[in-house]
Amino acid sequence: MVTKLLKYIPKPVKSILKSLGFYRLIHLFADKYAAELIFQREWAEEFKDNKVQVLEYWKKYRYLEDIKTLCNIKNETKILDVGCGISTVLHFIEGEKHGIDPLADEYKKLYTYPAGINIQKSFGENIPFPEQYFDVVFCSNVLDHVTTPQKTIDEIYRVSKPTGYFVLTVEIFEEKINRDPAHPYCLTKKDIHSLLAAGFNIIFEKESPWTGLRNYVNGLKGGHNKELIMVCEKR
């Protein structure tokens, strides 16, 4: 209901509501899928007109060029983006490109993905592909949204080739806090290392200031936390 009402609010009014913290209140009371859909509905329109800035963010803060080199991404590379959203990294790389997201069917109503990006509805805990299928799996700002992070990591391991790479981006915290329904987990760097320990070797690890794609596009500052960017090899 809330998402339908927001659709009809004029953009200037939305900007005022955002400055007053209205959207933060929605995220406190909506379930995580409703909260995410609210965000993506607004973000879809902005992303369409600002793909150059999003690519710039990926290069500047998420080390996309280093990732492409480390993972040897080329036209025949099989790639999956888990929790792809609308502004998936699949826009900015070559390969056989697939994305999964619990809200994929809703996103297709909001946004027309370019040819060659194949999106379907599914969850990180149950990836609908056979074992050892992908050369590279991305999971960008998603692990703190899922229901079970370890199950999601295990599924990524299952669908990765023996020589596969896992590219993880996640917001990290110095200490545990209670967040909101859209972000049921508050993860530290130690948590991430623990989740990866059984199946992956970390070959690249960087931290960036937590800004966020939408904040960057709109010239806003992010929070005080950091974003952890990793490239991992399957063991």
- Whole-number pLDDT of residue 20: 42
Tokens 């909001």 belong to residue: 110
pLDDT given for residue 26 in this prediction: 52
Query: Cβ distance 44 to 103 under 8 Å?
Result: no
Low-confidence ranges of the chain (pLDDT < 50): 1-9, 13-22
- Alpha helices by DSSP H, listed for the chain, are 2-6, 11-19, 22-29, 32-49, 51-61, 64-70, 104-110, 149-159, 189-196, 213-217
Burial class (CB in 10 A: 0-12, 13-18, 19+), 180: middle
- Dump the DSSP string for 25-45: HHHHHS-HHHHHHHHHHHHHH
Q: How far apart are CA 176 and CA 3, in angstroms?
A: 30
Q: What is the pLDDT of residue 100?
A: 98
> Domains in the chain, please, with CATH?
51-234 (3.40.50.150)
- pLDDT tens, position by position, 129-174: 999 999 999 999 999 999 999 999 999 999 999 999 999 999 999 9
pLDDT of residue 30: 59
pLDDT for 21 equals: 46
- Give pLDDT tens digits for 64-75: 999 999 999 999
Q: What is the pLDDT of residue 24?
A: 52
Structure confidence at residue 17 (pLDDT):
46
